Structure 1
Amino acid sequence: MTAAQADLHTSRPEIPDGLRIDRPLVSDGAELWRIAKDSGKLDLNSSYSYLLWCRDFAGTSVVARAADGRPVGFVTGYLRPESPRTLLVWQVAVDSAYRGHGLAARLLDALTRRVAAEHGLTAVETTITPGNTASERLFQSFADRHGARVEREVLFETDHFPDGPHDPEVLYRIGPLSPVHSA
């Protein structure tokens, strides 16, 4: 870790007491759906998709749990089939009561650390709509902490979406990451 990375690491607000980071369970699906819905920023998927996500992609996803075990934040992702050392981060959301503590960054770091240990992760990808400043900052700070480049290109144009007006989705590709990186 460089001095700049150490500064970033130590300057984060403290994580609230009693929170722990864990793999999602199927029983967490309803809470993940609620957190995504309440975010006001994410494209909301069906509640069924969050249940499936917690079942089929628990190994590439992570939740933050309050002391009572209830999910209060999450990162969902999957390994790209044609690039199995690339983690595509699908959604990141934190319950409004837990925002402002650096929890999204801690979740992203914990997930990528685990996936790197299990699969030799070399890159992270995500898509962000223009103007989503919080997501842009989250992923740029992730790249900065890990000494990685960020490449951006439009992945899906507005006219790719069949269900009405949708902002373009910009692909952020972060890498290369060392095969095992630390936060």
Structure 2
Amino acid sequence: MTTTTDLPAVPAGLTARRPTEADHARVQATLGDWWGHLGGEFGDLQRALLLPRLFFQHMTDTSALVEDADGRVVAFLVGFLSPARPGTAYIHFVGIDPAARGGGLGRRLYEWFFALAADRDAREVRCITGPANRASVAFHTRMGFALEPGDREVDDIPVHSDYDGPGLDRVSFVRPLP
């Protein structure tokens, strides 16, 4: 069983810690390159707006930042427990440096968050992604998330139209916790 002070287990040469407000600009700087500028300038702007400074001020006890030996950001997970829906935890944003993908770091961050959320009495974890981010849809499915029904489908994926505003469609996931 974990406690609220535990951090994710990360591979040798990496260090996990809680993010701080000072990390906001460093994480923001990764968003375009790590997502391959998916959606062009508009996509880069959407990602930046989805990760405002307030998450680095108020959600740090349920979030993690991973750095290499040189202090370079390698991964992050920003999550929280829903204040309006007791029993629900939410993974808001996760990023893994493309050079660090495929080694299980994303899985480790998610499993850490699942354990932290369960320790705090959450019964489910929710998250979203954009319908164009096929790698994210596949990852979440592998992690045991179910796709929630949407109001339409795009390439057999249920989509919630205008979820984050006009033209900002999203795929919604839910995963029960043991």
**2:87 aligned counterpart, secondary structure:** strand
Partner of 2:48: 45
Which of these residues, 148, 168, 176, is aligned with residue 152 of structure 1?
148
The alpha carbon displacement at 1:112 in A equals 2.1
Q: Write the mapping of 1:91-170 to structure 2, written as runs, cut at 5 A.
A: 91-117=93-119, 119-143=120-144, 150-154=146-150, 156-158=160-162, 161-162=165-166, 165-166=167-168, 168-170=169-171
Residue 70 of structure 1 aligns with an amino acid whose one-letter code is R
Residue 172 of structure 1 aligns with an amino acid whose one-letter code is F
Rounded to whole Å, the distance in 2 between the matches of 1:106 and 1:73 is: 11
State TM-score, norm by structure 2. 0.73
Rounded to whole Å, the distance in 1 between the matches of 2:121 and 2:105 is: 24
Which of these residues, 66, 69, 74, is aligned with residue 67 of structure 1?
69
- Confirm whether residue 56 of structure 1 aligns to residue 81 of structure 2: no
Contact 1:77/1:90 (8 A) holds in 2: yes
Rounded to whole Å, the distance in 1 between the matches of 2:65 and 2:163 is: 33
- Confirm whether residue 32 of structure 1 aligns to residue 27 of structure 2: yes
**1:29 aligned counterpart, secondary structure:** helix
The alpha carbon displacement at 1:114 in A equals 2.2
Rounded to whole Å, the distance in 2 between the matches of 1:55 and 1:112 is: 22
Identity score, percent:
26
Rounded to whole Å, the distance in 2 between the matches of 1:169 and 1:159 is: 6
Residue 158 of structure 1 aligns with an amino acid whose one-letter code is D
Contact 1:26/1:55 (8 A) holds in 2: yes
Unpaired segments ≥5 residues, structure 1: 1-14, 144-148, 179-183
Rounded to whole Å, the distance in 2 between the matches of 1:131 and 1:72 is: 23
Contact 1:78/1:89 (8 A) holds in 2: yes
Contact 1:85/1:123 (8 A) holds in 2: yes
**1:76 aligned counterpart, secondary structure:** strand
CA RMSD of aligned residues (A): 2.5
Partner of 2:15: 20
The alpha carbon displacement at 1:159 in A equals 8.0
Aligned residues: 153
Contact 2:89/2:122 (8 A) holds in 1: yes
The structure where helix makes up a greater share of residues is: 1
Q: Deviations over 1:6-34 (max 9, x none)?
A: xxxxxxxxx65311222111121112111
Unpaired segments ≥5 residues, structure 2: 1-9, 151-158
**1:45 aligned counterpart, secondary structure:** helix
State TM-score, norm by structure 1. 0.71
**2:131 aligned counterpart, secondary structure:** coil
